[in-house]
Amino acid sequence: MWERILWATDFSAPAHDAGRTALTLANWAGAAIEAVTVIPPDPGDLPPALVSVLGEDGLQDAERELEAEVVAGVRERLAEEAGFLLAAGHEVPLHVRAGDPPKEIVALAGELRVDLVVMGATGHRSVKEVLFGSTVDSVARHAPCPVLVVR
């Protein structure tokens, strides 16, 4: 039935619960689990004064260094969050993506050819989510496989 499960987490309590559910399903089905978190794009623009001081090349170098540090920190946090899966005997590949969370989760699910995506529902909705839909809504509509939402 399920051979590969993708657990998507934003480090919230519902996402952690979703990871526990993914573990239960993986144990039941003998499936592998992979974990992903997505660093959303920074919505703010850099101040023009900073751009003028660094210049275009300096700005690109600074962005690359900052991105590498952020990704390393997020990967470390994801490893901590997935610790319970390791303790249960699962080798868990960790994926850190940057970009629009629903698009990145759906893309990774397709790339990995997973059989199930497991995510937590946060239960709160911002004005943006009411107007445009939440990450969970978007993943459920576009994923190439079933999506289990854990409340």
Domain boundaries, the chain: 4-42+78-150
pLDDT score recorded for residue 24: 98
pLDDT score recorded for residue 70: 84
Dump pLDDT digits (tens) for 70-89.
888 999 999 999 999 999 99
Average pLDDT, the chain: 85
C-alpha to C-alpha distance for 95 and 12, rounded to whole angstroms: 17
CATH numeric code, 4-42+78-150:
3.40.50.620
The closest alpha carbon to 123, from 28, 17, 40, 6, belongs to: 17
| Cα→Cα distances 1→5, 49, 50, 106, Å | 11, 56, 53, 20
Dump pLDDT digits (tens) for 97-132.
988 999 999 999 999 999 999 999 875 555 455 444
Dump pLDDT digits (tens) for 3-38.
999 999 999 899 999 999 999 999 999 999 999 999
Q: Which residue has the higher pLDDT, 39 or 50?
A: 39
pLDDT score recorded for residue 31: 98
pLDDT score recorded for residue 53: 53
E strand residue ranges, 4-146: 4-8, 32-39, 94-98, 116-120
